[in-house]
Amino acid sequence: MTFFKSTARGVKCKMKCVESKQNTLRFLKRQKEDGRTSSQDLRSQETDRALVTQMRRWRAVVLQRLRWSSHVTRVLVVCVLTFGVLLPLCCHRALYSYYFLKSWYLGQRSEEVLRRSYVDGQEALAYWRDVVVGGAVQGDVSERPELLVTVVTARRIDGLQYHYLLQVMRRLDILLQGCGDAPCAAVLVCDVESGPQENEDAVLVEKRFRVVRRGKGVDQDVNVFEKEKRDYVFCLRQSVETMKPRNVVVLEDDALAGADFFSIIRDVLSRRFISHSLYVKLYHPERLQRYWNPELYRILEWVGLGVFGASLILLFLGFFPRFSPPFSVPLFLFLVAYIMVGAELIGRHYLLELRRISPQLYAVSPATECCTPAMLFPGNMSSRVAELLDAATCKRGHAKDMVLYRHAGSAHSLEPNAVQHIGAFSSVRVNPLNPQLL
């Protein structure tokens, strides 16, 4: 009995020893883990303190840089006020500015232009009806005039009520009456309507101006771009054969001449290099007149404007030495970029309009792509252009304007435009239900 009791006590002692060892091991393990955790916490705290210190240093540097006396602060404030506040307020209604709010104003502006064009068309219709009723006689036009204006026209299925041809011819008639005894130009109307219906507007102007017609059913089996080209070639050749002019201006029937149209043409023809030019474009779409353009001369013009504007600003600031910063290359480069960005955002079109002060200020630049509503062919170049067009076949993406641009090495464009494009409906292409200005 005593033996069993002593054995039981021994077993209990061993179990207690084992349990004690296990507890000791658990304690040591917890201590080790706590040590690791505490070291990680210490490292994390040190990292946080270093990050806070670094942020404080950067904050001090930024605050030092952004003091009002700092140039960086002044540059930021000027740019934000100019490009973010002043220009948006001034230009949000300007049609050809980057700030123009299309979603707000485009539909309204387009409707206003259509409504005004309709009123002008009805007034032109009344004007020409009165001329016909009054029995006005066409004046004699001598052969070999210095300048011949040929107006190419066709009956428009859409937009017939706008009477674009009558608007254009009314403006030319008024301008010619202001020339006095010496006529500014001879005028020829080239009617290329080949459909079964008559071009009523061409009939109205026939008693005042000579009209040549191509005939019915001609080139009905070709695409519209090829037909448009052939009509143009026909009118060019008729101009030369009928009048034998020294210089030819070809207007499409929706190209409205400006009030100083003939003064501009005379000035352009007086420039020596024009006699060697294949053609001079008198119109380029306003939306395509921006500086940001692959045309090299525009980039050079843009940089020149920036340099000129920056020089003027520095010259102006020189009169106020108390407020003028000292000259430096970074300051000059900033002002150049400032002027260039501002000019592009406002719109190059509006800067070009300043040249209308005098015909001598109109710029003659290398020819651009797109559109032939108004073209000047100096000397005998109209015959050469007719041959170039006749040798090409036109189709979608390769219309007559692209054919001419391929031979534009000796061609030019006039800026700003000498005519206004008033046509919202084409006579050869599919028209939208609601035409837009842009």
pLDDT tens digits, the chain, 438 residues: what are they? 444 445 555 545 556 555 665 666 665 566 555 555 555 656 667 776 777 778 777 776 666 655 555 677 888 999 999 999 999 999 999 999 999 999 999 999 999 999 999 999 999 999 999 886 544 444 445 678 999 999 999 988 888 899 999 999 999 999 999 988 788 999 999 999 877 788 999 999 998 999 999 877 676 778 989 999 999 999 999 999 988 999 999 999 999 999 999 999 999 999 999 989 999 999 999 999 999 987 889 999 999 999 999 999 999 988 888 777 888 899 999 999 999 999 999 999 999 999 999 999 999 999 988 889 999 999 989 999 999 999 999 988 889 999 999 887 889 999 999 999 999 887 667 777 788 887
Q: How many CB atoms lie within 10 A of CB 341?
A: 16
Contact 222, 201 (CB under 8 A): no
User: Which CATH number does the domain housing residue 177 bear?
Assistant: 3.90.550.10
Strand 147-153 to 247-252 pairing: parallel
117-141 burial, b if ≥16 CB within 10 A, otherwise e? beebbeebbebbeebeeeeeeeeeb
Same domain, 328 and 358: no
Give the residues across from 415 on adjacent strands. 363
CA 121 – CA 170 distance, rounded (Å): 10
Residue with tokens 């409205």: 256
CA 111 – CA 122 distance, rounded (Å): 17
Burial of residue 406 (CB within 10 Å: 0-12, 13-18, 19+) is exposed
Same domain, 224 and 238: yes
Same domain, 246 and 305: no
What is the predicted pLDDT for the residue at 232?
95
Q: What is the pTM of this model?
A: 0.81
Same domain, 253 and 227: yes
Residue with tokens 């050869």: 428
CA 317 – CA 311 distance, rounded (Å): 10
Q: Which amino acid is at 241?
A: E
Which residues, including other chains, have CB under 8 Å from residue 278's CB and lie 6 or more apart?
377, 381, 384, 385, 404, 407, 408, 409, 410, 411
User: How many angstroms separate the Cα of 359 from the Cα of each of 172, 268, 355, 366?
Assistant: 18, 8, 8, 18
Name the residue range of residue 322's domain: 296-346
Contact 145, 186 (CB under 8 A): yes
CA 264 – CA 362 distance, rounded (Å): 8
Same domain, 330 and 359: no
Is position 241 within any domain? yes
Is position 157 within any domain? yes
CA 258 – CA 249 distance, rounded (Å): 14
Same domain, 213 and 175: yes
How many domains, the chain?
A: 2
Give me the helix-helix angle, 296-317 and 329-346, nearest 10°. 120
Same domain, 364 and 244: yes
